[in-house]
Chains A and B, each alone.
Chain A
Amino acid sequence: MAHTATAADTHHDAHAHEHHGPQGILKYLWSTDHKMIAMQYLFTGIAMGLIGAYMAYVFRMQTAFPGVNVPGFGQVSPGEYNSLITNHGTIMIFWVAMPVLVAAFGNFLIPLMIGADDMVFPRINRLSYQVFLLSAIVLIVSFFVPGGGFGGAWTAYPPLSAVAEYNQTNLGSSLWLLAVALEFVAFLLGGINFITTLMNSRAPGMRAYDIPLVCWMIVIASILFMLSVGPLIAGAVMLFFDQTLGTGFYDPARGGDPVLWQHLFWFFGHPEVYVVLLPAIGITIDVIATFARKKVFGYKLMLYTTVATGVLSFFVWAHHQFIAGIDPRMANVFTITTLLISVPIAELCFVIIATLYGGSIRLTTPMLWALAFMAEFLIGGVTGIFLGASGADIYFHDTYFVLAHFHYTFFPIAIIGTFAAFTYWFPKMFGRMMNDTLGKIHFWGTIIPFNIIFIPLFVLGIGGEHRRIYNYEHFPELAGEGMFMLRQIATVALLVMLIFQVVFFYNCYVSWKKGEKAGKNPWKANTLEWTTESPPPHGNWPEGLPNVYRGPYEYGHPDRKEDYWPQNQPS
């Protein structure tokens, strides 16, 4: 067996240092261990995800059945409706997709996959989580202050977000902005850690091209985040002064410019899409290579394509502003760059398909999630072409078509990608296998309703339905019976999907309590995290950190009896 060989090639001078940290409950809250911090991020992210899902449930009920007394909430007022949709978007992107995909899996996987005993700066890592937790608390507090939570959409365009007379949520909008700024600080701290760890702390023998792609992707995502968020931090400070001190940074009558905020926001906002997309693609490619038992097609091609995607993602931001009053000549430029970026993304999809081609595919639960990611994300990508072309976007802008498009990208990223990773690494995180049957029930119970939610929304969008309307009964041309039926179908599908998530939590609990013991390497995978105990102890490899001899995807090598070849096994 492969893992018995690992002990022989470890070096014995790696002092498994003792943990001097605090004991008891503080051991969990105050731990500097990267796996513990990953868990904290994961569970906080899931908790915030449940809050975001609850918000979606409330406002979908209001759109499908206007004026209904929503069970568990009550009557939804227009202000509450705005606040719910705003905070649903904010939470799902900043407090679910980022902490789970980038921070939780980045923290868990990077040190394990590159053969290090921890992050390079464990205490900064802990600080990063604590600032993140603080930001989540500030956001939740902002719902309950007088005036209610901020309701100016997650993009927070001024003057609506800057002037209290307009948004009517004086305190709520300031707290919302503060929470987002704190969250950025948390991810800057975390990002520096990820990047430095990957650059400097690889196991001896591990070359740049021996790093598993998911680590590369998380680190490239962190670099994109670090280099794009700065202008928005500056812009947030300016918006905060507009809100609280009464400056006029975004007020044209006083020498400011509201379009400046849109530029600052989307200069970050578009790379942000790739910040969460790349880790999800990385997870998918790793899962697919393991379960297709096949080497990744074109490792370097994949890596360079990712870098190209990252670079191009800085050149497309103004496609969100085609009808916001930007100069039409710039709109032409940004249409071209936007259509260009679909080339590397398509290339990533082809690489994944080429990896599947001729493999001996095992349809385990994580593999189903990974394949679903590909299929659903493709729909999201293809519908994006319409929005990237400035001519078509004038019609589609701010309709349900946009909404359906970005849910077809963000749902695969944040939900499907997370489930693929969670089910794949669950044995490593908790030491036990997940129940496959329950996993598959949950999978189909999520994927089918997901499509039934959002395909009707494409139709509604093409029908001209604006996305931020409180009660469609007030607009005769949008209140037809057919359109209401589509909205109700989507809402019912959402309820079905939410109910099926109970299966997931039940499965987690049952598998965590009495699942089958996983052993070191249940999936017979190559990467380094599978060469240590499940769950890994403090310091990750108690008998010494591993050395690396080959790339991460050596499956089905013709000269070997086993169809896999762990990275740390000498030839």
Chain B
Amino acid sequence: MAFPKPQATLRSATGIPTGRLAVWWLLASEVVIFGGVLGSYLMHRLGHPEWAEAASHTNTWIGAFNTFVLLTSSFTAVLAHQAAEKGDGKKAAGFLVLTIGGALTFLMVKSYEWTVEILEGFTITANGFWSFYYTAAGLHALHVIAGAIIMGIVAADAYRGRELQRVELIGIYWHFVDVVWIFLFPLLYIAK
């Protein structure tokens, strides 16, 4: 039951395929959402030197491991794109499944980390730092979950050789999620 695409979708007056153009705009709107959270956090953090004490309780090693996981999943996502460009849907789907595995690893590590912290008493209401910590990382984790779900749908299509251009689109989104984490990592874990 394929949905008949309108002519409009197939046109490309800018030279950028429609799907990719839309993903770029989506990312522009995501940049301002994360910019709002991280900008607010940055201003408060610089204005509140006492938050350094709270920040020293975050676990840099777990953060670094999660950075490693996301960088690796980005790598598999780009390999999926490479395979899709060559028209190899099965291989692309395989790499996408690896990427989903990365997402799940990330989320499991995250939930372990949060459980430990909450049991130690560092809840979202404990202090301003922890409020921002859970809000920013939680917003990011929501994007990881959404990305993993969409990637599952794209992988199922790609396995049957359909809609291969979407492998690149979900990849671009996934790299963006990675880039957000690249900034969250120093902001929440390293700067103490």
Residues of A within 8 A of B (CB): 14, 17-18, 20, 32, 111, 116-123, 188, 191-193, 195-197, 199-202, 226-235, 237-238, 241, 245-249, 254-257, 260, 264, 539, 545
Asked whether A246 and B32 contact (CB < 8 A) given A121-B9, A231-B39, the answer is no
Residues of B within 8 A of A (CB): 1, 3-4, 6-9, 11-14, 16, 18, 21-22, 25-26, 28-37, 39-40, 43-44, 48, 50-51, 124-125, 127-129, 131-132, 135, 139
> In this complex, what residue of B is CB-closest to A234?
B36
Q: How far is the CA of A348 from the CA of B129 in the complex (A)?
A: 47
Q: How far is the CA of A99 from the CA of B30 in the complex (A)?
A: 22
Q: How far is the CA of A231 from the CA of B33 in the complex (A)?
A: 5
Query: Whole-angstrom distance from the CB of A180 to the nearest CB of chain B?
Result: 15
Asked whether A200 and B12 contact (CB < 8 A) given A192-B22, A248-B131, A256-B128, the answer is yes
CB–CB A199/B7 < 8 A: no
| Chain B residues whose CB sits within 8 angstroms of the CB of A32 once the complex forms | 3
CB–CB A254/B36 < 8 A: no
| Chain B residues whose CB sits within 8 angstroms of the CB of A254 once the complex forms | 127-128
Q: How far is the CA of A193 from the CA of B23 in the complex (A)?
A: 11
**Which among B11, B30, B43, B129 is the interface contact of A200 at CB below 8 angstroms?**
B11
Q: How far is the CA of A410 from the CA of B46 in the complex (A)?
A: 39
> In this complex, what residue of B is CB-closest to A122?
B6
| Chain A residues whose CB sits within 8 angstroms of the CB of B43 once the complex forms | 260
CB–CB B25/A192 < 8 A: yes
CB–CB A201/B18 < 8 A: yes
CB–CB A116/B13 < 8 A: no
Across chains A and B, the number of contacting residue pairs, with CB separation under 8 Å, is 145
CB–CB A238/B40 < 8 A: yes
| Chain A residues whose CB sits within 8 angstroms of the CB of B31 once the complex forms | 230
Asked whether A229 and B32 contact (CB < 8 A) given A197-B8, A545-B7, the answer is yes
Chain B interface mostly? helix
| Chain A residues whose CB sits within 8 angstroms of the CB of B51 once the complex forms | 255
> In this complex, what residue of B is CB-closest to A16?
B7
CB–CB A201/B9 < 8 A: yes
Q: How far is the CA of A256 from the CA of B7 in the complex (A)?
A: 51
Q: How far is the CA of A249 from the CA of B40 in the complex (A)?
A: 10
Q: How far is the CA of A202 from the CA of B15 in the complex (A)?
A: 12
Query: Whole-angstrom distance from the CB of A218 to the nearest CB of chain B?
Result: 15
In the complex, besides A116-B7, A200-B12, A234-B40, 11 extra interface pairs with C-beta distance below 8 angstroms are A17-B4, A120-B8, A200-B11, A201-B7, A202-B13, A228-B32, A234-B36, A234-B37, A245-B124, A248-B131, A255-B44
| Chain A residues whose CB sits within 8 angstroms of the CB of B22 once the complex forms | 120-121, 192-193, 196
Query: Whole-angstrom distance from the CB of B175 to the nearest CB of chain A?
Result: 19
| Chain B residues whose CB sits within 8 angstroms of the CB of A226 once the complex forms | 25, 28-29, 32
CB–CB B25/A196 < 8 A: yes
CB–CB A120/B6 < 8 A: yes
Query: Whole-angstrom distance from the CB of B6 to the nearest CB of chain A?
Result: 4
CB–CB A118/B6 < 8 A: yes
Query: Whole-angstrom distance from the CB of A71 to the nearest CB of chain B?
Result: 45
Q: How far is the CA of A262 from the CA of B1 in the complex (A)?
A: 48
Query: Whole-angstrom distance from the CB of B169 to the nearest CB of chain A?
Result: 12
> In this complex, what residue of B is CB-closest to A228?
B32
CB–CB A116/B8 < 8 A: yes
CB–CB A123/B3 < 8 A: yes
Query: Whole-angstrom distance from the CB of B131 to the nearest CB of chain A?
Result: 4
Query: Whole-angstrom distance from the CB of A204 to the nearest CB of chain B?
Result: 9
> In this complex, what residue of B is CB-closest to A545?
B7
Query: Whole-angstrom distance from the CB of A30 to the nearest CB of chain B?
Result: 12
| Chain A residues whose CB sits within 8 angstroms of the CB of B131 once the complex forms | 238, 241, 247-249, 256
